[in-house]
Structure 1
Amino acid sequence: MTVPKYWREIPQRYRLEAGKCKKCGYIAFPPRQICPECKSQEFETIRLSDKGKIISYTIIRVPPKNFSFQAPYPVAIIELDGGGRITAQIADASPEEVEIGSRVRIVLRKIQEEGKDGIICYGYKAVLEK
């Protein structure tokens, strides 16, 4: 990931900021320029909830090179309390523990490090609520 792209994505990676269409209320994450529902270009920035439930998931068994040490690991589509959906890795859980309907909390975690002296990328992951 390039440094400029990383800096542009900080609001959505660190604070779960989304765009809410002022015309129809659609919540877009990551933020978009045009609403896919009504084609409006007017959005307000909102902060998404850090809690939600798993509505679908898969198990990644053959991951990208930088994530091979974590395999197998679950990745889920999460419907957040208050609206909006995100896709996130489920951290600190075995694939057998993950179920549709499970409650999760979104947390900030280290995602990857680009080489010994490269940028350290942080972002969100989900953890199961016990």
Structure 2
Amino acid sequence: MAGIGQGPGPDAVFAAKLAEGVFEIQKCGGCGTHVFHPRVICPACGSADLGWFAPTGRGTVYARTVVRRKPERGGDYNVVLVDLEEGVRMMSRIDGIAHDQIVAGLKVTASIGEGAEGDPAVVFRPEGEAN
């Protein structure tokens, strides 16, 4: 990893990896803590020794909400908080399931899909469904 202040920032690295079809989060080389949202120093120990690795992609829905919009504005969409097995929480959405079937405790799997602006984003599907 480049030192603090050198090279692209961690958000840019995360976005570039997604654009290449790779979902990775950070892990601290100092204390072993998994880190998300990308950072330059570990929030647990303050180390700048953060490397990238591929998580399992398996997680559990912590909470969800549905944003209601008129069909001509794109229709309704869900926003979820997902706890990954590695212990980090991500905000995303779940595809492939009706909004009213998304409940806390639902097991999900990550994939790379399309974000609101057409950019690559981590999205989830119910566990066991094809990505």
TM class by shorter-chain length? Answer: 0.7 to 0.9
Contact persistence 1:53–1:104 (CA under 8 A):
yes
Tell me if 1:83 matches 2:90.
no
Check 1:105–1:23 CA distance in 2 against 1; reply closer, same or farther (3 A cut).
same
Higher strand share: 1
* Gap runs ≥5 in structure 2: 1-7
> What's the secondary structure of 1:90's corresponding residue?
coil
CA shift for structure 1 position 62: 5.0
> What's the secondary structure of 1:91's corresponding residue?
coil
What root-mean-square deviation, in Å, do the aligned CA atoms of Structure 1 and Structure 2 show? 2.8
In structure 1, what is the equivalent of residue 68 of structure 2?
A: 61
In the TM superposition, 1:1-130 aligns within 5 A as 8=13, 9-12=15-18, 14-62=21-69, 68-69=73-74, 71-112=75-116, 120-129=118-127
Deviations 1:59-85 (CA, angstroms, capped at 9, x unpaired):
22259xxxx41x322211111124332
1:83 maps to amino acid = G
CA distance in 2 between partners of 1:38 and 1:107 (Å): 30
- Number of residue pairs matched by the alignment: 116
CA shift for structure 1 position 47: 1.0
